[in-house]
Amino acid sequence: MSELLCLCCAATTTDDGHLDACPTCGCREHIPADLGDTVTVTLTRHELRILTFWAAGFARQHPATHMASVVQTITDRLTTQTDTALSLTQEIADFQTHLQERP
């Protein structure tokens, strides 16, 4: 059995071979991602920021799809792997924290 990640709600589950929807949110549109099937990609932080900002903007322009939650799920997972803000929301929060820490 493999551990799967729902790209809509970020829930994890195990697959017994009969999974056709996320057991947490019921999403059928995006087949859960196999957490054991990972790759390593080398990008600069700036390239990664461009990709995540662009994807989030594209998803916001297509509200009829689940893309906003999918992009957020992926960005949240990437955020655990870098100290760089990968969303405009995080960028603003980091800037506000920086301003508050200044003497």
Q: Please list the pLDDT of the chain residue by residue as tens digits (103 residues).
A: 788 888 888 888 887 767 778 888 888 777 678 888 889 999 999 999 999 999 999 999 998 888 888 899 899 999 999 988 998 888 899 899 999 988 7
- Residue 68: Cβ within 10 Å count: 17
Quote the crossing angle between the two packed helices 45-60 and 67-79, to the nearest 10°: 160
Task: Give the C-alpha separation, 44 to 51, whole Å.
Answer: 11
Q: What is the pTM of this model?
A: 0.78
For the chain, give percent helix, strand, coil, nearest 5: 40, 10, 50
- Length in residues, the chain: 103
